[in-house]
Chains A and B, each alone.
Chain A
Amino acid sequence: MSVNADSNTVERRKLASKPFAKSDRIFFAVARGAAYSSFVIIALILIFLVGKALPALQTQGLIDFAFGSTWNSAATPEKFQLGPMLWGSILISIIGVVIAVPLAISIAYFIEFMAPKTLAKAVTTIVDLLAAIPSIVLGLWGAFVFSPIAAGWAKMLNQSLGWVPIFDNPEQNFLRSPFIAGIVVAVMIVPIIASITREIFSQMDRDIINASLALGGNRESTFRRVILPTASSGVIGGVLLGLGRALGETVAVLYVLNISFDINWGSILQAKGGSVASMIISKFGEANPSEISALMAAGLVLFIFTLIINSIASYIVAKAQPWKK
């Protein structure tokens, strides 16, 4: 077909389109308003937490508040310092993620690449069900059913590997340790990581997997050389989302952890640890106004932490699924 060089100069017919009707403008305005409400909610949370936290942050000083390790509302001047809780939250989340990641990836792999279809469906339902169990129910289970069992595991670990510093425990009391709290948190975040990993796996291009198999790859080499590299960024995003949830976990951790301001750097079997969220809920009932301000500041720290982690995570997950726009 020959292209007429003059066609550009010919005046194009203009598309006639009516402006939106008034009712439509209202419709779109309502939708836009609702969408911006999430912006408003996040902004309000920040404003109110900062407002209430400022007195405590001013009297304590930002650095001391975040890294000091005394919490005493009876002393004069009152001391509110978050260090052990902050480190405790991170420690528990790390334990939780280390335990949850292999479990979650295994389940996702099992569902997508190993199980027959009906079994895969059933397992998917079971994982979703696990995600739906409220954290307080898990806390109850953790406190009265799981803790004694896990304390037994911890004792075995201590007896066989006690010379490793992190398994050291001179007091020989294995209940309410970061180790147990970490496992309970792992149970909470396995479904989150598993469902995102499964989604990434299921949306992978089947052709590259089949190509790998056709070239003589087996399950293992396909998994290691093809599936994992392709899915890795999505999986990392899922892990970060799980990490965010683990940091914010409140009531489940409260019942299985001995919250102590004596900082525990890494002896995960000892019965002392910390968690910002659980500390807030346990101190809140008997707090005086200045302590409440300090708890608000703790909440603010938690909020900013999880906000950053979640934003990075959702950015990574979105990047890993470019077809989802």
Chain B
Amino acid sequence: MEKVIDLTPVARPKTSQPWAKKSPKFLGSVALSAIIPAAITLGFIALAGMDFMAALIVVFLPIQIIAAALVGATVYGRRGILESLLVVATIFFSSFVFVLLGSVLWSVISNGAAAISPSFIFQNNYYIQPTTALGYGGVGHAILGSLLIVGLSTIVTVPLGLATAVYLTETQGKSKGIIRTLLQAMAGLPSVVSGLFIYAMFIASGITTYAGWTGSLALIPLMLPTVARVTEEALRLVPAELRNGALALGAPAWRAFVQVTLPAAKSGIVTAVLLGVARVIGETAPLVLTTFAADRTNLNIFSGQMGSLPTYLFGYIAFGFDESIKRAWGAALVILIIVAILFISARVASRTRTKARK
């Protein structure tokens, strides 16, 4: 018996030509499906006086989903419905994150700008009560304290992280996997545990009282994973030919590293340091447990309590007076500005790297 094969072609799916020009009908319906739900929602908010969030979830989202599904169905058929759902969900959730971030940034900037003045930046907190008006006193001592504490931990952590990254990339060590896992585990170390650890090691055991350097030590476990990992990535990006070339010319491994690999990875390492500092500059819990807070400027990191921006913020939120909250917003803005500067510098540093590689 002869086998009959049906050779009539199946209809091509509508998605099979993504390059084809979109028909004006399609573009128009997409535009309509974007505008109409928003318009209806705005109408509900403006006319019926509905709560914004309620309107967003109860009115906007269902209408938007139905509208998008209708367009999807008319253009692509039944399968278009799910596709339109995916698009709506992706854009809705993504914009939700932007709104949250925008809200954080805006509230810190608008509230913080009201508190910031030269006296707020440069004066310290001595003689200042939580209810003192904003014209007096500020975070000068806290900025200096933060810089000293983070500076000391940077001095310790960067060589350590660099050498760890060298072990992970330049040597034939056998325990690379374990070290990498440990670094990952350390990256997830709760900051309060790091503070407890240093408290138990130095303060509870009576070696020292609250001091700046214990705070620096408490920041090391938090900073090390970031520095080591980003440095490792930077060293990995250096082409193998460069270091093999140096080795083939007879250079010992350490000279090949110092004179060839290190200069090639320089900007990546700068990025690593900046990101590491940005990671710990706002850490609060370890400093609360190890340096405590101070109202006076203390430039001696090896003795005496030391103020820092996060602990200042911590204290002033806890006071709970209007004036103290204003100061807290100001300090938050100072922290954010420092983080932003570090962050942008890191971006610039890594951009020069990508340019240099081209």
Q: Which residues of A contact B (CB under 8 A)?
A: 20-21, 23-24, 26-28, 30-39, 41-42, 44-45, 48-49, 51-52, 102-103, 106-107, 109-110, 114, 123, 125-130, 132-141, 143-146, 149, 152-153, 156, 187, 190, 213, 216-221, 223, 241, 244-245, 247-251, 255, 277, 280-281, 284, 292, 295-296, 299, 302-303, 306-307, 309-311, 313-315, 318
Given A51-B200, A248-B188, A21:B193 Cβ within 8 A: no
* B325 in contact (CB, < 8 A): yes
Instruction: State whether B224 touches A27 (Cβ < 8 A).
Output: no
- Give chain A nearest CB distance to B358 CB in angstroms: 16
Q: Which residue of A lies closest to B347 (CB)?
A: A125
Residues in B with CB closer than 8 Å to A44 are 197, 201
Instruction: State whether B335 touches A141 (Cβ < 8 A).
Output: no
C-alpha spacing A156/B171, complex, angstroms: 59
Instruction: State whether B193 touches A248 (Cβ < 8 A).
Output: yes
- Give chain B nearest CB distance to A197 CB in angstroms: 13
Please give me the 9 A-B residue pairs with the lowest Cβ-Cβ distance, nearest first. A134-B282, A248-B190, A34-B163, A314-B184, A106-B93, A27-B254, A310-B188, A35-B167, A31-B167
* B299 in contact (CB, < 8 A): no
Instruction: State whether B190 touches A145 (Cβ < 8 A).
Output: no
Q: Pick the interface stretch among B40-48, B76-84, B113-121.
A: B76-84
Question: Which residues 214-255 of B have a CB within 8 angstroms of A?
Answer: 220-221, 224-225, 228, 252-254
Number of B interface residues in the complex (CB < 8 A): 97
Q: Which residues of B contact A (CB under 8 A)?
A: 13, 15-16, 18, 51, 53-54, 76, 79-80, 82-83, 85-87, 89-94, 96-98, 100-101, 103-104, 107-108, 159-164, 166-168, 170-171, 173, 175, 178-194, 196-197, 200-201, 204, 220-221, 224-225, 228, 252-254, 257, 278-279, 281-285, 288-289, 310, 313-314, 317, 325, 328-329, 332, 335-336, 339-340, 343, 347
Given A48-B200, A187-B100, A306-B188, A110:B91 Cβ within 8 A: yes
Q: Which residue of A lies closest to B103 (CB)?
A: A145
C-alpha spacing A255/B313, complex, angstroms: 12
Given A31-B163, A39-B182, A218-B76, A134:B168 Cβ within 8 A: no
Some 21 contacts from A to B, beta carbons below 8 A apart, are A20-B252, A20-B253, A31-B166, A34-B162, A34-B164, A42-B182, A42-B185, A114-B87, A126-B98, A126-B101, A134-B339, A140-B317, A141-B108, A145-B104, A152-B51, A219-B86, A221-B82, A277-B190, A281-B192, A302-B193, A314-B181
Residues in A with CB closer than 8 Å to B283 are 134
Residues in A with CB closer than 8 Å to B100 are 187
C-alpha spacing A35/B201, complex, angstroms: 22
Instruction: State whether A309 touches B107 (Cβ < 8 A).
Output: no
Could you say which of B90, B91, B197 contacts A49, with CB atoms under 8 Å apart? B197
Instruction: State whether B108 touches A137 (Cβ < 8 A).
Output: yes
C-alpha spacing A216/B204, complex, angstroms: 67
Instruction: State whether B285 touches A277 (Cβ < 8 A).
Output: yes
Q: Which residue of B lies closest to A33 (CB)?
A: B163
Instruction: State whether A130 touches B79 (Cβ < 8 A).
Output: no
- Give chain B nearest CB distance to A228 CB in angstroms: 11
C-alpha spacing A247/B331, complex, angstroms: 26
Residues in B with CB closer than 8 Å to A135 are 282, 284
Instruction: State whether A190 touches B103 (Cβ < 8 A).
Output: no
C-alpha spacing A230/B142, complex, angstroms: 48
Q: Which residue of A lies closest to B92 (CB)?
A: A106
10 further A-B pairs in the complex, CB-CB below 8 A; given A103-B94, A107-B94, A302-B193 = A24-B254, A38-B164, A126-B98, A134-B336, A141-B103, A146-B103, A218-B13, A220-B86, A296-B196, A302-B190
